[in-house]
Amino acid sequence: MKKIILLIIILFNLNYTFSYSNNDLYDKIDLFGEVFEKVKKDYVDEVNQSEMMDSAINGVLQSLDPYSSYMSPEIFREMQTDTRGEFGGLGIEIGMEAGVVKVISPIDDTPAANAGIKAGDYIVKIGSSQVQGKSLMEAVKLMRGPVGTSIELTIKRKNVKKLLKFKITRKIIEVKSVNSKILGNKKNLGYIRLKSFNENSDKQFLKAVKEFKKNSKIKGYILDLRNNPGGLLAQAINITDIFLDNGEIVSTKGRKSSETRKFFARKGDETKGKPIIVLINNGSASASEIFAGALKDHKRAIILGENSYGKGSVQSIVPLSNGGGMRLTISKYYLPSGDSISEVGVAPDILVEEIGEDFKINTKSDNQLNYALDLFSS
């Protein structure tokens, strides 16, 4: 009964009435109770009523968008607990698409990336557990485990007929978000790879730019955001601001006035207007899309690579009365042009798809980076 009450609370909290009158909504709630009782009484196998209710609650949330989901009290506690040094991960950012877990991006130099997991892969099985029907948080829980232990992921990859299997060993995921070096035949291009928008990414990024400024030969920049799953909105704004002299960076719009805001660049382009190429791919999401989209709209950079992921929304963690919680989308991002990123992403100015089975970012096989280098040399 407590689970049914919780479901009703969520329905009302979400204003999940659509075009129904209150009487219609009550009729639907009665109908749900009838279905629940029929399943409990007549279904071919005995059902776990608590798990069934969790699935129903999660179904309400996941029907809204791929990023809203329910967390049981157990999962919610685990998400809030500091398990540093005890539990390991695989190094992938995941989301939901049509009830299936989809890889948004593998993070550089993590077990998943090193094993060959790619952005856009669909996770069919985690170990022996089928993923279909599980919530995003349940999938995350299955992938976590003690450092040094292994898990097998079964993957469905676009344009590959057979299912792929990857055995991956968990480890503590520590991401250094910024790497930089000088590239080009004449050693005159500043290359910065941004892997995520973490708490101190802006300071690391600005430090790299200032180091390049000391080199009088630097004539342009290549900013690599491929397989960057995003992160903090404030970091996206601060890093984009490094390259703009003025103008809007991004806006957020939600139902509440507090979630509707605009963010603008402050005066001062740290690179003094030098040319920029931004590399993106299907694994560039969220904050990466804000960065690439803003520079594209302001015609401050050439965007090269593949269409980005299309995650243009902000989630909030909401505690619930049963000790669980829900991840709920509360606003969406909009680029300076007014375009939404959601489910669309940012289209490159120059489409360059990755080529070859041996393709690896920032190596000799990286045809996208090589294309960018050729543009500067032409």
User: Annotated catalytic sites, by residue?
Assistant: 286, 297, 311
Distance (Å, whole) CA 167 – CA 259: 42
Q: Name the residue among 252, 310, 302 with its Cα closest to residue 285.
A: 310
Beta carbons of 75 and 324 less than 8 angstroms apart: yes
> Using N-to-C axis directions, what is the helix angle for 233-241 and 201-213, rounded to 10°?
10
Q: Exposed, middle or buried, 267 (CB in 10 Å: 0-12/13-18/19+)?
A: exposed
Q: Tell me the sheet residues that pair with 97.
A: 100
DSSP alpha helix (H) spans, the chain: 2-13, 22-42, 49-62, 73-80, 111-115, 136-143, 201-213, 233-241, 287-297, 367-377
Task: For residue 194, report the phi and psi dihedrals to the nearest 5 degrees.
Answer: -105, 115
Beta carbons of 76 and 69 less than 8 angstroms apart: no
Task: For residue 338, report the phi and psi dihedrals to the nearest 5 degrees.
Answer: 95, -5
Cα 339–Cα 194–Cα 170 angle in degrees, nearest 5: 110
Two tokens, residue 377: 């040399």
Q: Exposed, middle or buried, 79 (CB in 10 Å: 0-12/13-18/19+)?
A: middle
Distance (Å, whole) CA 148 – CA 169: 6
Q: Exposed, middle or buried, 294 (CB in 10 Å: 0-12/13-18/19+)?
A: buried
Cα 205–Cα 277–Cα 236 angle in degrees, nearest 5: 40
Beta carbons of 211 and 180 less than 8 angstroms apart: yes
